Structure 1
């Protein structure tokens, strides 16, 4: 068993933007904690891997394939590889958990 850690430890938001911390990396799976400030530059993403993301704390507006969604704690969404998405707005101290499932090398 690895060391016990807490997702909310050291979760102070950066002054600007978002901070991405890898929580777990195993084979083709990557789990990240994302901590957001309330000053972000909306950046469009279209990733090669599948991603499941859950909002743990705070609030955010996320645009997925042209549709805007407001996320609150507990809300989650699955983003298949190639799905365009953009974080439009976040409250200070918003905490996310993102699970990335990268393609296997033999796929």
Structure 2
């Protein structure tokens, strides 16, 4: 078994978001997401449940039309089929996302 640290290699992309797979096992996918301040909001409607934790920074997340101003430590559960999008993020905002797929998943 190998150990690693979520706070290693946290370079912020120039724009958008960077998705790093931490664990992909059966129907479970855990990702670290690094957001830049230059983000273009994109609405996601996913087939899987997702729980996200904002580990660093601030972000505005719109879920089913309601805006959530998130700060470090805030987390939210996003059931499958619920529209959501990151409208704004501080540069270098870091997320931990846990996806629970209805069936076995594959890497992004």
Q: Which residue of 1 aligns with 2:86?
A: 87
In structure 2, C-alpha distance between the alignment counterparts of 1:8 and 1:18, rounded to whole Å: 16
1:33 to partner: Cα distance: 0.2
Deviations 1:25-77 (A, max 9, x none): 11000000000110000000000000000000000000000000111111000
2:52 is the counterpart of 1:53: yes
TM-score, normalised with respect to structure 2: 0.94
In structure 2, C-alpha distance between the alignment counterparts of 1:88 and 1:74, rounded to whole Å: 18
2:8 is the counterpart of 1:9: yes
2:78 is the counterpart of 1:72: no
CA RMSD of aligned residues (A): 0.8
1:3 to partner: Cα distance: 1.2
In structure 1, C-alpha distance between the alignment counterparts of 2:39 and 2:81, rounded to whole Å: 23
TM-score, normalised with respect to structure 1: 0.95
In structure 1, C-alpha distance between the alignment counterparts of 2:7 and 2:93, rounded to whole Å: 11
List 4+ stretches of structure 1 deviating above 6 A. Answer: none
Trace 1:17-32 onto structure 2 (pairs within 5 A).
Answer: 17-32=16-31
| Number of equivalent positions | 104
Q: Which residue of 2 aligns with 1:101?
A: 100
